[in-house]
Amino acid sequence: MFRDGAPHREADSNAGYIGDKLGAIGLDLALAITVGDDRKEIDKALADSISRADIIIMTGGLGPTFDDLTREAVAKALDRNLTLNREVLGAIAQFFIKRNVEMPKNNERQAYIIEGAKALPNPLGTAPGQIIEIENKKSKSKQPSKIIVLLPGPPNELQPMFESQVFSYLKKFQTKMKKRFTLHVFGMSESAVDEKIRLSAKPN
Higher pLDDT, 10 or 173: 173
pLDDT of residue 136: 73
The answer to the question of residue 85 being in a domain is yes
Quote the pTM value: 0.82
The answer to the question of residue 116 being in a domain is yes
Q: Note whether 74 and 17 are within 8 A (CB).
A: no
The answer to the question of residue 57 being in a domain is yes
CATH number of the domain enclosing 93? 3.40.980.10
Lowest mean pLDDT among 19-23, 174-178, 187-191: 174-178
Lowest mean pLDDT among 23-27, 71-75, 98-102: 23-27
pLDDT of residue 204: 58
Q: 5: exposed, middle or buried (C-beta count within 10 Å: 0-12, 13-18, 19+)?
A: buried
When divided into structural domains, the chain yields a total of 1
Average pLDDT, the chain: 88
Q: Note whether 125 and 93 are within 8 A (CB).
A: no
Query: Containing domain of residue 88, as a range?
Result: 2-178
Please give the DSSP secondary-structure letter assigned to residue 165.
I
- The residue-averaged pLDDT of 95-119 equals 97
